[in-house]
Structure 1
Amino acid sequence: MLLHISISSPSRCVLPLASSSYSQILSLGFRRPPPLVSRPYRAPKFSIVCSISQVHNYGTVDYERRPVLKWSALYRRISLMEDPSLGSSGVLDQWEEEGRKLSKWDLCRVVKELRKFRRFKLALEVYEWMIDHGDRFKLNSSDAAIQLDLISKVHGISSAEDYFSGLPEALKDKRTYGSLLNAYVQAKMKEKAEAVIEEMWKGGYMTEVLPYNVMMTLYMNTKEQEKVLSMIAEMKENGIPLDIYSYNIWITSYGAMGDVEKMEEVVQQMTEDSRITANWTTYSTLASMYIKHGHFEKAEKCLRDVELRITGRDRTPFNYLLSLYSNIGEKDEVYRIWNYYKSSFPSIPNMGYHSMISSLARLGDIEGAEAVYEEWLSVRSSYDPRICNILMGWYIKEGLLKKAEDFFDHMRETGVRPNPNTWEILAEGYVREKQISKALSCMKEAASIKRFQVWQPRPANVAALLVLCEEQADTVSMDMMVDVLRKAGCLDIEAYRSLVGTDVRPAMAVDGLNLGLEGNESDGDGENEMLLKQHHASL
């Protein structure tokens, strides 16, 4: 869920816009920005040596100042390997057998890139290869924090907890505690996250803003906005300066409470804070809040400020602009941003196509979405099932099960391998048509795919299938679905445990059937999901 900062060229990219005057609160006086392996985990034998320079406030590592030759070739070989069973370790062994010695810097840079593109299993395997080579690579608490994050994503929270418990005490510092905290927050495990905060207080690690930001993001997701305000007050009391992320979370919190006036007061406070330079994320957050409360004119003015703050080669703002303009029904603006996006870069990555197709689907422009999908097929650098899932989700939502099935067959013929969410979307369609066996078969297929991080079906979809089993007195299928949940590790989570008891129907009434246009790729929603993704990128 954390905020993305571009450190590339300071040149500003300004999109063609009609001039407009800004209201006092939207002008704000903001300063312009300056010109798997399946083996059990064991705690590695770390030496407390920092071999890579530490920069930034959050203990992150600067990998940007070295030549980008060897690592990029190695990254491509790992990410594009034809035989996934080879794994990262097989590629690394081959690399060295070819006479090319690997440095820690190269390997950490590869890990960074793999994480950026959510190839978590491959990234974890790189670290395991380093650990298997003993004292050759000196690993520190930053490395341990990254591994903990990867383990939580690939093997789940329980494995991450075991890994943390096995670390030497000397490595249990603000970085590893922070990584464990972030894992709990991503899993929305509030009690455990709060327990980690208590340990961080005892260890003297609550002296920086990051853990506060992480916890406030969790409280936003659990809709406990008052706790966000309490943490803001606590930071001020303890003399911990708010950063741009803290302000964005604070703004979002008041927006979620429906208090636009207070939200705008926070914005004014931020403009008076000499340490803060508002960036595009601030305005995208404001736009999201204004959209939520129907202030579309104010939202559009914020979106123009987002455009004015696009700098260098940062593509991320374009993705948010497409989504936010689609949320206010501005199809012409969506196409304008898309055309400018394509004219600004030699190529558009998969995420750009994902944003455009989902925006058009949200607007109901399915013909446009299909046309952009065909364009993606002709230029794609890699197959991405998440893009296909958007169209499948739209077809299912519109009751076009046969078209969804045909599209599913087509995507497999073109080389796209379904991910767990692809199968879950198809299962939703079968539930709608009361085809229990086919829906259950899809859920089993989703659970059987191991090349992605831990998959968990949406509780609403589980509830819908269990209700259908109950209606048809199909206890065998109900038991099979519970077994799928057990194997996916879902029964440790209250949201799923409450569904498998004797009273399934009330849970269905509460959650409802969720047939999202985003292809079920997201754990959160709206502005909270945007903040968590942006903030997570800063870790």
Structure 2
Amino acid sequence: MATTAASPSLSPSPSCPPEARSARRNLLSQSPSFPKFGRKQISFSISHVQPTRCSISQVHNYGTVDYEKRPRSKWSSLYRRIAMTENPTVGAGLEVDKWEAEERKLSKWELCRVVKELRKFRRFKLALDVYEWMTAQEGRFNIYSSDIAIQLDLISKVRGASAAETYFTELSDSLKDKRTYGALLNSYMHAKSKEKAEEIFDLMREKDYTTDALPFNVMMTLYMNLGEHEKVESIITDMGTRGVAMDIYTYNIWITTCAARADIAEMERVFEEMNSSETINPNWTTYSTLATMYIRLGDTVKAENCLKDAELRVTGRDRLSFNYLIGLYGLIGKKDEVYRIWDWYKSSFPVILNTGYHSMLTSLVKVRDMDGAKAVYEDWKSTTGNYDPKICNIMLAWYVREGMLDKAQACLDGLIDAGGKPNPSSWEIIAAGYIREKQVSTALDCLRQAAGVERPRKWRPRLVTVSNFLVLCAEKNDNGSREGVLELLENSGCLKDEEYKSLINTYAGEALEGTGVITR
């Protein structure tokens, strides 16, 4: 959660002496007034202006908060207990039961606030557990269609679009309204289920549930993700025909689509249309999208100008904007700017999350600042309680790429000693280093470690890793290691994939005889 610098209170405390109160009133009465300017008339010299930090936050209560007196105990204590559950598969309901047994009965407001925070940090399974616990209380809480829409969205994220569809089908007609239809449409969009999304969208239009931009934005995002850019244009046309006003998200999706098509003229035209609107102001997302496009075109000057404009629109509570700025400045090789945004980031939040460290390390790799990356990595290790292996992997990949295998191994060992758990990619990166050093048996051990990591889905090594390993086996005439990796691939289900079978047939055709693997 973001914090801002403390500001002096306008209401003096009871202990404040009368002379101090009078001085404060005089100071406030003498505050300078500033002339009002039109939005389009102001220009700044960015090199001399500290980025504007807006204090307005976007608070979403989803329409589910009961208007009741808030209880004395804070929801954050319950959130921390649920978020720190050692075995998330057990579910959050057990923690809620414990809380009510040890503390007191919970209100709907508290539970919804916990769900909101869990969703914010993508703890969707735990958030769904809380909602399912609430709905299982049989009449204790008032459950509205807005609650059902959130639950449907969580089901989609945790169990897939088909489970969300089943849940929606079993709802009573009174709960199938604009919100729940919209949640189902969103689940189809994320699943890239084009036909089902179009069917639901048509139903929403028939029921007059498309009176605002949201469902149109969902369909535009779907078509953009599928690469059907011409259909994005058709959605824009449909909105105009129906008299539905575009919002900032509509314009941002439209600009992103133009960027994906590399149509810079159309992108700039859409931006000018957006910028000339009296009701819509471009935000940091708009300018970061423009910057990304200019980076792809190699126009770093325009890209940097857009990033400066993006900074002026960053609020003090949006971590994502800092991650994007750090990443994009890294892409254009502006190391000083990367560190400047990083310092701003750290001054805006009491704690930097793993995503922030990931963005910073990735950018430092791009600007080839290894000393800085090591310092940031050590800072992360000393402050975090959640040793995300993806952050360690950035350092591992860099060390391996630079031929410093000993440092890569030491980095991995350090993660394990600190209590972190490497993921399959961690072991595969190290395996690639040992393959380069022609240490076949050690590389195979690392690949076996990767395959042994428990994951929701089986690990599938990169084709280039398998190819390089098989080439090395051929160079060393090491049939035992070759058979070992084939067994590993078979157990992982990779040999059902044509790409893996073709690769193995190319490099190890003779070794497949008698293994049961079909060769061409």
Distance 1:438 1:92, change over 3 A: same
Maintained 8 Å contact 1:430/1:438: no
1:149 is aligned to 2:156: no
Q: CA deviation at 1:374?
A: 0.3
Distance 1:354 1:134, change over 3 A: same
Bigger Rg, structure 1 or 2 = 2
Give, in whole Å, the separation in 1 of the partners of 2:467 and 2:198: 35
Distance 1:407 1:193, change over 3 A: farther
Distance 1:33 1:443, change over 3 A: same
Distance 1:364 1:178, change over 3 A: farther
1:351 is aligned to 2:355: yes
What is the DSSP-based 3-state SS (H/G/I as helix, E as strand, rest coil) of the residue aligned with 2:92? helix
Give, in whole Å, the separation in 1 of the partners of 2:124 and 2:339: 33
Spell out, residue by residue over 1:91-111, the C-alpha distance to the aligned partner (whole angstroms, 9 max, x if none): 111111114111111111101
Residue 293 of structure 1 is matched in structure 2 by 297
Deviates more, 1:213-222 or 1:99-108: 213-222
Maintained 8 Å contact 1:393/1:425: yes
Spell out, residue by residue over 1:324-362, the C-alpha distance to the aligned partner (whole angstroms, 9 max, x if none): 100111111111211232234443333222221121122
Counting aligned pairs with the same residue, the percent is: 50
Distance 1:120 1:32, change over 3 A: closer
Distance 1:173 1:385, change over 3 A: farther
Give, in whole Å, the separation in 2 of the partners of 1:429 and 1:64: 59
Residue 265 of structure 2 is matched in structure 1 by 261
Residue 224 of structure 1 is matched in structure 2 by 228
Distance 1:504 1:262, change over 3 A: same
Distance 1:457 1:138, change over 3 A: farther
What is the DSSP-based 3-state SS (H/G/I as helix, E as strand, rest coil) of the residue aligned with 1:207? coil
Give, in whole Å, the separation in 2 of the partners of 1:63 and 1:505: 61
Spell out, residue by residue over 1:473-508, the C-alpha distance to the aligned partner (whole angstroms, 9 max, x if none): 8764443222799xxxxxxxxxxx7657x65699xx
The amino acid that maps onto 2:304 is E
Give, in whole Å, the separation in 2 of the partners of 1:421 and 1:142: 39
Distance 1:462 1:8, change over 3 A: same
Give, in whole Å, the separation in 2 of the partners of 1:166 and 1:192: 17
1:18 is aligned to 2:18: no
How many pairs were matched up? Answer: 448
TM-score, length-normalised on structure 2? Answer: 0.74
Maintained 8 Å contact 1:437/1:477: no
Maintained 8 Å contact 2:430/2:446: yes
Residue correspondence of structure 1 range 303-452 to structure 2 within 5 A:
303-398=307-402, 403-419=407-423, 422=426, 438=445, 441-442=448-449, 444-446=451-453, 448-449=454-455
Maintained 8 Å contact 1:33/1:278: no
Maintained 8 Å contact 1:383/1:417: yes
Give, in whole Å, the separation in 2 of the partners of 1:66 and 1:286: 46
Distance 1:155 1:309, change over 3 A: same
**Which stretches in structure 1 are left out of the alignment for 5+ residues?**
1-5, 21-30, 36-54, 486-496, 507-539
Residue 481 of structure 1 is matched in structure 2 by 492
Deviates more, 1:173-182 or 1:222-231: 173-182
Residue 177 of structure 2 is matched in structure 1 by 173
Residue 29 of structure 2 is matched in structure 1 by none
Residue correspondence of structure 1 range 71-82 to structure 2 within 5 A:
71-82=75-86
**Which stretches in structure 2 are left out of the alignment for 5+ residues?**
8-43, 472-481, 506-520
Deviates more, 1:200-209 or 1:424-433: 424-433
Q: Aligned to 1:128, which of 125, 129, 132?
A: 132
The amino acid that maps onto 1:93 is D
Q: CA deviation at 1:246?
A: 0.8
Give, in whole Å, the separation in 2 of the partners of 1:380 and 1:343: 17
The amino acid that maps onto 1:377 is K
- Higher RCO structure, 1 or 2 (CA under 8 Å, sep 6+): 1
Give, in whole Å, the separation in 1 of the partners of 2:498 and 2:177: 36
Distance 1:238 1:195, change over 3 A: same
Q: CA deviation at 1:180?
A: 2.7
Distance 1:392 1:193, change over 3 A: farther
Q: CA deviation at 1:83?
A: 5.5
Give, in whole Å, the separation in 1 of the partners of 2:215 and 2:429: 35
Residue 32 of structure 2 is matched in structure 1 by none
Give, in whole Å, the separation in 2 of the partners of 1:64 and 1:438: 59
Give, in whole Å, the separation in 2 of the partners of 1:229 and 1:131: 41
Q: CA deviation at 1:114?
A: 0.8
Maintained 8 Å contact 2:428/2:447: no
Q: CA deviation at 1:376?
A: 1.5
Q: CA deviation at 1:258?
A: 1.8
Distance 1:34 1:264, change over 3 A: farther
Maintained 8 Å contact 1:469/1:478: no
Maintained 8 Å contact 2:387/2:415: no
Maintained 8 Å contact 1:389/1:422: yes
Distance 1:156 1:397, change over 3 A: farther
Q: Aligned to 2:288, which of 284, 289, 293?
A: 284
1:182 is aligned to 2:193: no
Give, in whole Å, the separation in 2 of the partners of 1:196 and 1:288: 33
The amino acid that maps onto 1:194 is E
Maintained 8 Å contact 1:423/1:445: no
Q: CA deviation at 1:296?
A: 1.0
TM-score, length-normalised on structure 1? Answer: 0.72
Give, in whole Å, the separation in 2 of the partners of 1:161 and 1:468: 44
Q: CA deviation at 1:419?
A: 4.8
Distance 1:248 1:441, change over 3 A: same
Maintained 8 Å contact 1:185/1:193: yes
Residue 249 of structure 1 is matched in structure 2 by 253
The amino acid that maps onto 1:115 is R
Maintained 8 Å contact 1:426/1:442: no
Distance 1:469 1:307, change over 3 A: closer
What is the DSSP-based 3-state SS (H/G/I as helix, E as strand, rest coil) of the residue aligned with 1:265? helix
1:138 is aligned to 2:149: no
Residue 204 of structure 2 is matched in structure 1 by 200
What is the DSSP-based 3-state SS (H/G/I as helix, E as strand, rest coil) of the residue aligned with 1:416? coil
Give, in whole Å, the separation in 2 of the partners of 1:388 and 1:196: 43
What is the DSSP-based 3-state SS (H/G/I as helix, E as strand, rest coil) of the residue aligned with 2:257? helix
Q: CA deviation at 1:381?
A: 5.0
Q: CA deviation at 1:183?
A: 2.6
What is the DSSP-based 3-state SS (H/G/I as helix, E as strand, rest coil) of the residue aligned with 1:310? coil
